[in-house]
Amino acid sequence: MESALTARDRVGVQDFVLLENFTSEAAFIENLRKRFKENLIYTYIGSVLVSVNPYKELEIYSKQNMERYRGVSFYEVSPHLYAIADNSYRSLRTERKDQCILISGESGAGKTEATKKILQYYAVTCPASQQVETVKDRLLQSNPVLEAFGNAKTLRNDNSSRFGKYMDVQFDYRGAPVGGHILNYLLEKSRVVHQNHGERNFHIFYQLLEGGEEDLLRRLGLEKNPQQYHYLVKGHCARVSSINDKNDWKIVRRALSIISFKDNEVEDLLSIVASVLHLGNVQFAADEQGSAQVTTENQIKYLARLLAVEGSVLRDALIHKKIIAKGEELISPLNLEQAAYARDALAKAIYGRTFSWLVNKVNKSLAYEEGKFPGWRSTTVLGLLDIYGFEVFQHNSFEQFCINYCNEKLQQLFIELTLKSEQEEYESEGIAWEPVQYFNNKIICDLVEEKFKGIISILDEECLRPGDATDTTFLEKLEETVKNHPHFLTHKLADQKTRKSLGREEFRLLHYAGEVTYSVAGFLDKNNDLLFRNLKETMCNSENPIINQCFDRTELTDKKRPETAATQFKNSLSKLMEILMSKEPSYIRCIKPNDAKQSDRFDEVLIRHQVKYLGLMENLRVRRAGFAYRRKYEVFLQRYKSLCPETWPTWDGRPHDGVAVLVKHLGYKQEEYKMGRTKIFIRFPKTLFATEDALEVRKQSLATKMQATWRGFYRRKKFLHMKHSAIAIQSWWRGTLGRRKAAKRKWAVETIRRFIKGFIYRNHPRCPENEYFLDYIRFSFLMNLKRNLPKNVLDKSWPTPPPSLCEASQLLRQLCMQNMVWTYCKRISPEWKQQLEQKAIASEIFKGKKDNYPQSVPRLFINTRLGNEEINAKVLQALDNEAIKYAVPVVKYDRKGYKARARQLLLTQNAAIIIEESKIKQRIDYSNLTANCTTSAQQLPRALFAMAWMLLEGELGQRGRTAERSWSTGVVTWLV
């Protein structure tokens, strides 16, 4: 906990005891605000935990968090619900003494959730077995069942507990939960028949209607719409967005099966719940004499079937009252008001007694059975008290009076036990105890519960006395009896100024938490809690097993008047105080941050009010009356020993002596601390803060020194490791290199030896002596051949083969040439192939016959041949049927001026024809080309004649369709 003090300016202190200005309520609330802003909802007052409801999910309840607090000293970790739970559990196991955790706070402060979290903590962290797991499940599943029947939506809380609950959890000698028992206090039965605006009835009614199966609702005679039932519409709040009744119904049904409810028992229980709704729909009308008569016979039929009673008997019981006077029974009819009262009283009685039966049923399933959990030691008990906090409403009635009386008793117990534990600790440590001045609220408790003079006694007296007793006569009796009490005030007893805030039917009590004004309206009726005799008889005759158990027949024969509600509550509260006094208590005080149930909203006025009525400032003042801080010597020395050279780094002597040396070195003054037998006590928080600040400074220097030392150690260790590794690697590598070198030399020697021997035997047939040499020669030739293969078909180079490979070399050469030829041919495109074929034909014709033929070979042929469609139609008509063998465009150059003129040369079977557009300019028959020319100019017609003759003979065919343009041009020039 001390580690968080360095951030106290931002997040406050974890323990209010360490507040410097501990008497200031503003400082107290500001510390709460700081922590709430940082989502730190838990703070200590010594061993008391203050919890602020965050109204949102926080990641502080996981299994990892549970393990963090498990078995850890109370102040070693930050404040938490689990720290209280674990501390109580460890005390129970080590000291074998019963423990109890008291959880208090107003509605909506998170009491029920705190109880659940504690039970979940025990379920996870306690030893487990198959039987123990069953008990754990039942303990956990008892919560949703009791919440369904005992919780309701109020203006301040959507899941407000409308009853007080004390649960005992039994643990065996191993610390495993083996059983449990629940006590319930003061169920708010009036909620069954009436709810304030914005509030709801108990959850179970809405869950049944919303989640019940169609068949179940049909058997119970119910509809899904809550608006159909008078007991559910008075608060005008049947459905709430934050409550999922359908899902909650599934949880309750599952929980009922886990805590050993049989199907028929569930059916009987739900029949009673449905009967309450039907009872609320029973309507009356007055007859001629003013007596009430039932007007809703259909509801009576449903009630008779669900409650297993005679319908006519129930109807008569609702509109008549049976009176026994001097041994004689008298039946008196009821008027409308009385009949409505009787109906509501029956509904409250049925629901209240059924709730008590339900608690007893849960207790049977949780009961510890020695046979199932054998052990050589008896069980110990840890109690959880989840009870309503102090309530101050705009209108306070009988229920608030009882609740606030309960809180007065708990506050009295709290102060007594706190002072007692403080005094015992001081005495055990040998430190003088200084009496603490505090407000003793025994005077208020006596005002309420004192015999003959207390408010409860006067209320009972008014309820029992003959005559016309009313709420007003009760108030007058109070004014007469306790008028001089300093904590009691009425309109009649108040001064002129105070009377303005007090009604004539109100009285005011000055509680420890402040003033509360109560209205006496309904006090007598709620205290009497009477049920007419004939209604009791009807219920006693019920065949419903649960109703039969709830209404005992001995009530009919018992002449003694039953105890009033206030007396019953006072007696049960007295027993509860005895139970709590017999146990070691721990406290959790729950605070609601705002009325709107919004996260991150801190209502200072509301919180100040709760701090006041929870008595937190009084508790802090008592805790700070002596010493603010105390720790065992071992813990204190372990934390702060670094601040003194003599105790750092280790102290070999007694912890007591080490702490004495340490505080002397720190300069503590005599009035700032005391040395106990096992603990050091520090009076002022500022002393601890100064020590903690010095430790924070010391941590920096220690951290620097430790870092330097660690870095040096780490680097040296790393260097030595690297050095060792380098030596190992070097040694291995040298060995590897040596072995490789030796192996290489050995291989070289053997290779040279085989090579020389093979050279000597190179001309011999293949034998072991020359096979290596021959293979090498062959390999060398093949590798040389691979590097020097001919590049194309014209390359005739080829490496000289060794004698043994001559034949193979020749075959390889042929294969290589074939491959190059095949590869070359494969790469030839159809256009290039046609060119080659034409070149071959041209070579046969012109090679050795044409002077410039060698220069024309590299030039590609151009396809200039003309088709018939490109020749003028008149020319074709003039040629008549003479077939054109070849046609090509040519150019005529004039002898004078060399002007170029476009012409066409046509070769037919008989003649060569020159065409100009559509005219035949010249025709030369082949028969006239037989002359013998001697000049080069004369040789050209011969070539033309030879070309024409070959065309006529068809030697060129389709392959001779092109001719060199230069040749054609020369021919035409010659012709011109």
What residues form DSSP beta bridges with 166?
183, 385
Catalytic residue, candidates 88, 91, 107, 962: 107
Question: What does the alpha-carbon distance between residue 976 and residue 968 come to, in Å, rounded to a whole number?
Answer: 12
SS3 labels along 531-566: CCHHHHHHHHCCCCHHHHHHCCCHHHHCCCCCCCHH
- For residue 842 the two structure tokens come to 């041209």
DSSP tag of 870: G
Is 691 among the residues known to form the active site? no
Is 235 among the residues known to form the active site? no
Write out the E strands in 34-136: 42-45, 48-52, 99-104
Catalytic residue, candidates 47, 87, 104, 161: 161
What residues form DSSP beta bridges with 679?
632
Q: Judge contact between 189 and 531, C-beta under 8 A.
A: no
Catalytic residue, candidates 31, 91, 143, 160: 160
Is 154 among the residues known to form the active site? no
The number of CA neighbours under 13 Å toward the Cβ of 304 is 15
How buried is residue 112: exposed, middle or buried, by Cβ count under 10 Å (0-12/13-18/19+)? buried
SS3 labels along 466-521: CCCCCHHHHHHHHHHHCCCCCCEEECCCCCCCHHHHCCCCEEEEEECCEEEEEECC
Catalytic residue, candidates 12, 46, 105, 108: 108
Question: What does the alpha-carbon distance between residue 664 and residue 644 come to, in Å, rounded to a whole number?
Answer: 9
Q: How far apart are the two ends of the chain, measured CA to CA in Å?
A: 126
- For residue 380 the two structure tokens come to 């110990």
DSSP tag of 592: -
- For residue 631 the two structure tokens come to 């720790």
Q: Judge contact between 846 and 853, C-beta under 8 A.
A: yes
Question: What does the alpha-carbon distance between residue 591 and residue 54 come to, in Å, rounded to a whole number?
Answer: 10
Does an H or E element contain 214, and which?
helix 214-220
Does an H or E element contain 27, and which?
helix 25-37
Question: What does the alpha-carbon distance between residue 742 and residue 29 come to, in Å, rounded to a whole number?
Answer: 88
List Cα–Cα distances, 227 to 155, 230, 281, in angstroms: 20, 7, 11
Q: Judge contact between 82 and 66, C-beta under 8 A.
A: yes
Which residues lie closer than 8 Å to 630 by C-beta, 6 or more apart? Answer: 425, 676, 679, 680, 681, 682
Catalytic residue, candidates 91, 112, 407, 586: 112
For tokens 């340490």, what's the residue?
Answer: 662
Is 391 among the residues known to form the active site? yes
What is the distance, to the nearest Å, from the Cα of residue 781 to the centroid of all Cα atoms in its chain? 78
List Cα–Cα distances, 562 to 457, 463, 527, 753, 901, in angstroms: 15, 12, 11, 128, 147
Is 498 among the residues known to form the active site? no
DSSP tag of 769: T
Which residues lie closer than 8 Å to 919 by C-beta, 6 or more apart? Answer: 875
CA proximity to 235, closest of 192, 285, 287: 192
Q: Judge contact between 307 and 347, C-beta under 8 A.
A: no
Is 328 among the residues known to form the active site? no
Q: Judge contact between 201 and 192, C-beta under 8 A.
A: yes
- For residue 772 the two structure tokens come to 């290596």
Q: Provide the pairing of β-strand 99-104 with 284-286.
A: unpaired
Is 134 among the residues known to form the active site? no
Is 157 among the residues known to form the active site? yes
Catalytic residue, candidates 2, 147, 188, 391: 391
Furthest CA-CA distance within the chain: 181
Active site residues: 107-108, 112, 157, 160-161, 389, 391
